[in-house]
Structure 1
Amino acid sequence: MTGKWLRRAVLLAACASAAVLTACGSSTIESALAPSRFIAFGDGLSDLGQSGSRYTVNDGTVNVWTQQVATSYGLNLSTVSAGGKSYARGHARLISTTDDVGGSTLSVKQQVDAFLAADKFGGNDVVFINGGLGDLLAQYAASTDATALSNVMSQAGTDLGTQVRRLVTAGAKYVVVSGLYDVSKSPWGVASGQASNISSAVLKFNSALLLSINDLGANVLYIDAAYYYNLVIASPSGYSLTDSTNIACTSVDSGKGIGIGTSQVNASLCTTSTLASGVDYTKYTFADKVYFTPAAQTLYGTYAYGRMKSRW
């Protein structure tokens, strides 16, 4: 099955189900959503600093996409550890509690479990959910076999879809699902020598996710991170950036860091004092070899906000 055929199959299936996904046309919903609060589940791409720092340049700004969306609506979003409703945390996998560096981190499923055990959804709550990066990095570390990687990521996409369905069943009326960006385009992916296999695995993940939620169009909006970030990475100047190839930070982690090996730059350790010489990080796409700068994160948040306003 070719990637092109699979993309077409997924798009046709999704567009047949009440226009839940991007590229399926505009919504016919007339009322404007006025969110009462935001709730988030996910991994390091959405982590607002559950353990004290974020997987980006920690510059004290609005620098993660979920927070950018909340701010655009005039609301706040903060971590559960700070009394908020963002459960997302770095290294989280979809189901496994063994994270992408061999430690123990609440999975996305467990994050959802924790919320449902303590709270319930209101009529104007907006829920963000993402995942998959931890599963990709963990499987890649275990084996670079293309078939194994694709199979694991296909199952992970289905697993994320299962969590989305749980949210809707529990009463969430507005669920924003972020797909996984094409990690093969990251500095790590490009240098891996396995870019084609990584790209195929990401496609498998997003395709399985889309197929698993294609009947939830009344409540679910899919944000295509692979589509959007591919545009940014391919043409940074079109987004007021200058560099999508190099990384902005120098914060080397002697440990397992971000899940791509020891002694690698780790964005969660990065501040404005640990930037590469002469770098204007506000013009860079990547903070480290996997995670984005505040500029790239807020661009994606603005894109997601626009998709939400068009839909709801």
Structure 2
Amino acid sequence: MSFKISARARLLRRSVVTAVAAAALASCGGGSQLVAFAPTRLIAFGDEASVIDDAGSVGASVGATVGNGVKYTVNALKADLTTLDCSLNPIWIQALSTYYGLVFSQCNPAAVATPTAFIRAAAQAQVADVVAQIDAQVAAGGFVATDLVTLLVGSNDILAEYKKYPGVPINQLQANVEAAGALLATQVNRIAALGGKVIISTSPDLGLTPYALAEKAANTDTDRAVLLTFLTARFNSKLRVGLINDGRTTGLLFTDELIQTMVKFPTNYGLSNVID
């Protein structure tokens, strides 16, 4: 399985969103907490950060089977050190599903007969792909008030634009990522208007990844790490300003800001290496 984002970026993204997801959930229950939000389904949209693959996982370091899938992160093993255990080292959507007692069919070690958590996210997806993912959900029955909907996407858009440099000037790259961020905001608002309760994450700061540091070392035309941070910030800015974030239907996770803090103060978060 090919990974588009560096190992450290995946680790930080998983750690950050898992740590703050519970705080954001309060927003999905409405302005009053007299009645706690109790979702009956979880529907995940986005890129590989929200993917569990229990079929067709070519190139994965460990074998996946139906109901025991691999993830785009460090895949844990059982005590025999050879057999995959998808329930360990959970990604953020697994942490949420477990909190509410919901199960994905792609990681279903207890063989729950009727899983109630669903993944429409796909590896290497960009924002335009998420529009199609949402369209497919609408065609399949749409959303109800007890749906918890997650979205984490944008890194692949930012990387795709960055790779056009220097052939495309920075101001055009900026406009392109801003358009993607604005489009994502409209899709969040769309889901909320259709009845779903949404948790949307900002994109992680790609300027802090090993990829960015390698690009910086390999190129002297401009600081490539700074450029990636800039493009990430512009994507996130347009996402944030476009959200109808009224505290009733949408919870916003500031993943970019928390990752920046984790890299600046790694020991506070139990991290020993934030470079490789």
TM over 0.5: yes
CA drift of 1:28 comes to 4.7
- Give the root-mean-square deviation of aligned CA atoms: 2.5
Give 1:1-312 correspondences, 5 Å limit: 28-30=31-33, 31-49=35-53, 51-52=56-57, 53-59=70-76, 60=86, 61-78=88-105, 84-95=117-128, 107-144=129-166, 145-172=169-196, 174-193=197-216, 194-214=224-244, 216-246=246-276
CA drift of 1:234 comes to 2.1
User: Aligned pairs, how many?
Assistant: 210
CA drift of 1:66 comes to 1.1
**Alignment partner of 1:89: what SS?**
coil
Contact 1:48–1:89 (CA under 8 A) maintained in structure 2: no
Q: Structure 1 counterpart of 2:40, which letter?
A: S
User: 1:273 corresponds to which residue?
Assistant: none
**Alignment partner of 2:204: what SS?**
coil
- In structure 1, list runs of 5 or more residues that go unmatched: 1-20, 96-106, 247-312
CA drift of 1:37 comes to 1.5
**Alignment partner of 1:221: what SS?**
strand
Separation in 1, partners of 2:190, 2:249: 12
Separation in 1, partners of 2:245, 2:258: 23
Contact 1:42–1:88 (CA under 8 A) maintained in structure 2: yes
**Alignment partner of 2:53: what SS?**
coil
Taking structure 1 as the reference length, the TM-score comes to 0.62
User: 1:309 corresponds to which residue?
Assistant: none
Separation in 1, partners of 2:97, 2:199: 12
Taking structure 2 as the reference length, the TM-score comes to 0.69
**Alignment partner of 1:85: what SS?**
strand
- In structure 2, list runs of 5 or more residues that go unmatched: 1-23, 58-69, 77-85, 108-113, 217-223
CA drift of 1:235 comes to 2.2
**Alignment partner of 1:189: what SS?**
helix
